[in-house]
């Protein structure tokens, strides 16, 4: 029997592109406040309303939070920060022990001059959106450790379709292609235990520049890129 997974933010920019990698393996319930772009069935859930999240999480084996609001200073707090709190509270109440969360990269620009960046302290700056997401990470970590909820948080700067032909220019920074994220999410849902109950993982499919890397995801999740994507950027000699 497939494990039951509630995916919040099911109609957003990310979740619809995850389903090809999740549908064959899990019984996924999509939840959002707006219709699905592909017409899939959606459970109407406002992530800022705890009772709605709690009810939607009933009977689930795992919760995934892909909700985000960037450009509204009020709504972004209620979705990004309070929403994360509601997800973790619901997991604790229902005894759900696996959560997948997401967030922006917190180190770009501060570490662009350096190399081999994998698991460094957050550098959030003063941007409101990033601060609301950083707070959500703190909330997830606190609830995970207090209630034994194994929680993986994936960080990225960009999401994109995999290249299919030669490209000009440099590798996209801190960007993960859909196929690689599919695998990472499945590994996070299947791994028996997350060390220290909460971990953040860089997700980047392009490491040829030698800067940011996903070594932590390799070490803990057993993740690896599904293809050598750098080959599309190599110049002919």
Which whole-number Å values give the CA distances from 11 to 66, 77, 144, 156, 176, in the listed order?
A: 9, 19, 26, 19, 20
CA–CA dist 10, 30 (Å, integer):
5
Domains and CATH numbers, the chain: 3-233 (3.40.50.720)
Q: pLDDT for 199-232, tens place per residue?
A: 999 999 999 889 999 999 999 999 999 999 999 9
Q: How many CB atoms lie within 10 A of CB 164?
A: 7
pLDDT for 108 equals 86
> Is pLDDT at 45 greater than 90 in this prediction?
yes
Quote the tokens at residue 167.
Answer: 């490209």
CA–CA dist 173, 158 (Å, integer):
8
Q: How many CB atoms lie within 10 A of CB 234?
A: 11
169 with 191: CB under 8 angstroms? Answer: no
Q: What is the mean pLDDT of the chain?
A: 95
Q: pLDDT for 137-191, tens place per residue?
A: 999 999 999 999 999 999 999 999 999 999 988 888 899 999 999 999 999 999 9
Quote the tokens at residue 177.
Answer: 């292609």
pLDDT for 237 equals 62
């Amino acid at each position: 029997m497939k494990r039951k997974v509630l995916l919040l933010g099911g109609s957003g920019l990310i979740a619809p592109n995850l389903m090809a990698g999740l549908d064959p393996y899990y019984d996924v319930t999509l939840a959002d406040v707006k219709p699905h772009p592909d017409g899939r069935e959606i459970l109407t859930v406002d992530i800022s309303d705890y009772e709605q999240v709690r009810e939607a999480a009933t009977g689930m084996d795992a919760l995934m939070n892909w909700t985000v609001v960037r450009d509204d200073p009020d709504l972004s707090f209620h979705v990004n920060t309070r929403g994360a709190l509601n997800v973790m509270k619901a997991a604790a109440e229902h005894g759900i022990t696996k959560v997948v969360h997401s967030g922006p990269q917190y180190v770009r620009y501060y570490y662009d001059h350096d190399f081999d960046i994998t698991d460094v302290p957050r550098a959030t700056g003063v941007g409101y959106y990033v601060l609301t997401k950083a707070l959500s990470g703190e909330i997830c970590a606190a609830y995970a450790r207090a209630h034994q909820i194994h929680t993986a948080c994936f960080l990225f700067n960009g999401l994109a379709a995999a290249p299919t032909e030669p490209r000009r220019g440099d590798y996209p920074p801190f960007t993960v292609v859909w196929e690689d994220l599919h695998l990472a999410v499945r590994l996070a849902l299947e791994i028996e235990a997350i060390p220290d109950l909460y971990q953040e993982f860089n997700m980047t499919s392009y490491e040829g520049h030698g800067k940011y890397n996903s070594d932590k995801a390799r070490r803990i999740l057993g993740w690896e890129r599904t293809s050598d994507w750098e080959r599309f950027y190599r110049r002919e000699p």
